Amino acid sequence: MGVMRKKSIESLLAHATPLRRTLRTWDLTMLGIGAIIGTGIFVLTGKGALTAGPALSVSFLIAAVCCGFAALCYAEFASMVPVAGSAYTYAYVSFGEIVAFIIGWDLILEYALTAATVSAGWSGYFLDLLSSAGIHLPTALTAAEGTTPGVHTVFNLPAFVIVLVVTAVISVGINQTRRVNSVLVAVKLAVIVAFIAFTVWFVRPRNWQPFSPYGLYSFHGGTAAGIIPAASIVFFSFVGFDAVSSSAEETINPTKTLPRGIMASLGISTALYIVMTLIMTGVVPYPEFAHYLNAPVLAVLHATGQAWLAVIVSIGAILGMTTVILVMLYGQSRICYSMSRDGLFPKFFGQVSPRFRTPFKGTWFFGIVTALAGGFVNLNILSELVNIGTLAAFVLVSAGVLWMRHTRPELHRGFRAPGVPYTPLIAIAFCLLLIAGLNWQTWVRFLIWFALGMVIYLSYGRRHSMLNAAQQEAVSV
């Protein structure tokens, strides 16, 4: 079997988890919303509007449809294999160990870079809020080196601190994580609803003309523009709903609650994204977002003369991005826990604290690494690298549903994705379409990360795999 050896679903389901099961459908929905709604609304809408014009709402819809079809496949796998690990575990039972490691390695990249990137956006809104209160940090501590041309910066202190604070919350238990996330999501949603209610009256339909100035795909100023490239950009907004499936071992009745939580969070978030995008491009002519790339929502408030609402929106942005960081770091810790339990990572990452019932050491290790990345690394170009890793995971999960329906149909007793085989095939097609919208530099960075993962697997994971040990024991007997 070698690198293609597979885990059996029966052995996974027989495993007694040391994690605490407390999450219900509502908790999973809030985790999903916490992961999805944040950077997409408060940061990426500016760049997306410049890429697609008012048709950005269509770009969000395309990205959401891509995620929706993939989410149905995730939901089926989550019902069939309700254990921690998300796409990593699903690939292990479908395609074998080396494919599972590749996906796990991709997910670590996805969650870490998402959390680090969002922490930089969090820092921008936090610094604006401090500035409005007359408090100013030294410029050198407001961003990583090279982030802003002509401005000397060294370290992003707020980004570093928020990641450590969130790591502390996650490390002490799922109940604390759930409560903090639910409160922050509730406040965030209230702020978004308030923004919609106070700005919708300023929409001018003439700002939607032309609705799609760059068409589906074109080149403008030497760069790709149009609905499809914008969809590839704003896909980052939806990254994270898959982290909900990482909570399978901490969920009550996961075969029912996981599919409901995944689909509900994606549906609610998509509706809010489309409404917000239409309002923003209806109030502000899309070229003006070039002056508000870091905080596009503030362009709307400036145009409507509602400066008083800026503080409330800044608070909403801060809370929104905090929940994204929280769910990303939570998902990352559970992926590493699963890979360590399988022997593909050192045991250190899978050790569960007897007191907190969490993978305490692994959570802090990657939390500190992510905090340092958010503090020292210029993350302006890394969101596309997150996207390609996520899209690759979506392709394999969708293909896995097709494969498992064909090879193990008796296991599909819970939620079943409708329209198979068309649903996973459509998901794969949408993912490949969005991958095509990414630039070649993203592919190069992704291949470098892939090569590094292969070195780790071939030098450590392959020999220390629990399945390898079981095979060696069987041969010796």
Q: Provide the domain limits for residue 218.
A: 26-472
Which CATH number does the domain housing residue 262 bear? 1.20.1740.10
In a domain, 53, yes or no: yes
In a domain, 477, yes or no: no
In a domain, 213, yes or no: yes
**What is the model's pLDDT at position 259?**
81
In a domain, 21, yes or no: no
Q: What is the pLDDT of residues 228-261, one digit of tens each?
A: 888 888 877 777 667 677 676 777 877 778 788 8
- Tell me, yes or no, if the pTM score tops 0.85: no
Query: Domain count of the chain?
Result: 1
**What is the model's pLDDT at position 107?**
82
Q: Show the CA angle centred on residue 11, arms to residues 6 and 14, nearest 5°.
A: 160
Phi, psi at residue 52, to the nearest 5°? -120, -10
Phi, psi at residue 320, to the nearest 5°? -60, -45
Report residue 64 as tokens: 């959401």
Tell me the H-state helices in 172-295: 174-199, 227-234, 254-283
Mean pLDDT of the chain: 82
In a domain, 4, yes or no: no
In a domain, 198, yes or no: yes
Report residue 196 as tokens: 């919609």
Q: Are 427 and 390 in contact (CB under 8 A)?
A: no
In a domain, 304, yes or no: yes
Averaged pLDDT, groups of 10, the chain, 477 residues long: 71 63 82 78 82 92 87 80 73 84 84 84 83 84 75 88 92 75 84 90 93 86 82 78 70 80 88 92 90 79 82 82 85 85 87 82 90 78 67 84 80 76 90 77 79 90 83 62
In a domain, 273, yes or no: yes
